[in-house]
Amino acid sequence: MSGRTDEARARIKGSITALITPFREGRVDDDAFKKIVERQIAEGTHGLVPVGTTGESPTLSHGEHMHVVELCVQVARGRVPVIAGAGSNSTAEAIQLTRHAKSAGADAALVVTPYYNKPTQEGLFRHYEAISAAVDLPVIVYNIPGRCIVDISVETMARISALPNVIGVKDATGNLARPSQQRLASGEAFVQLSGEDGTALGFNAHGGRGCISVTSNLAPRLCADFQNATLKGDYAAALAIQDRLMPLHDALFCEASPGPVKFGASLLGLCAPDTRLPLVPIAESSKDKVRAAMKKAGLI
């Protein structure tokens, strides 16, 4: 397993897109998804995450979830790493989805903290311990207290990071002290990825190696250039891109994601803006915000 985890640690960095899942007439739009993946790779995106929250995993059936992962791996063809969403608040279900990610050929699994049932720190550790023991696939922990209520402490994350195939974290805590704290607790080899576009600049300055991005669905080239600049230590160039993209980072969360980013994708002709209930079409005022931010960024 060490060779596989070492390869994943080396490859997983930069601008990694949390892919939207396009729908048409209530079904997954395979043709649109394939074009989206090809566009991402052509524009310099460093990695892909199918069926995360942005991919509407909560309202996909298991069959649809697995199909989208398989389709992403098929289209990517190894050109960039695919980190398949595989989280659940049931450890057994998370193991099942992680096993499928491996069988589909994904390079790693993104496993969110269990939501709603609010496990203790010991419960969080055992959740990832069970997944690590059950599936021989690199795992990225997804820590997002705003959606899941629970927050993995620095100490617990250090325990989790010592598990055989846990290689990193997608950190959406919004706490810019966290990557420095985690770096000291878990070591420099632990791959830290921001889960927030707006704070990715500071996150990387604290030792992060990239961002699992919503904005890169719309601006893959700019997000890739931004990450390339930070990874080279050129924070002046990165800041110039940040200033251009910050209004878009904000606008894409003016309502529950992925409503705004799907509307933006529709403006680019990538797919229909359709989401599934309980998400509804975004308000006209929100459309105005997204449209204005895309114009500011030079996307339309």
Which tokens sit at 199? Answer: 């704070």
Q: Does 278 sit behind a cis peptide bond, omega within 30 degrees of 0 on the bond before it?
A: yes
223, 299 Cβ separation under 8 angstroms:
no
Of 142, 262, 287, 289, which residue is the catalytic one? 142
CA separation for the pair 127, 45 (Å, rounded): 31
Long-range contacts for 230-237 (Cβ within 8 Å, ≥24 apart)? 230/200, 230/201, 230/204, 230/205, 231/13, 231/14, 231/204, 235/201, 235/205
| Residue from 170, 262, 287, 289 carrying the catalytic annotation | 170
CA distance 164 to 139: 10
- The set of residues, in sequence order, having a beta carbon less than 8 Å from that of 274 and lying 6+ positions away, is 22, 23, 24, 26, 262
Q: Which residues pair with 25 in a beta bridge?
A: none
- Classify residue 177 by burial, with Cβ atoms within 10 Å: 0-12, 13-18, 19+: exposed
Active site residue 295: no
34 an active-site residue? no
| Residues 257, 278: Cα–Cα separation, whole Å | 12
290 vs 217: CA distance, rounded Å: 13
Show which residues are catalytic: 142, 170
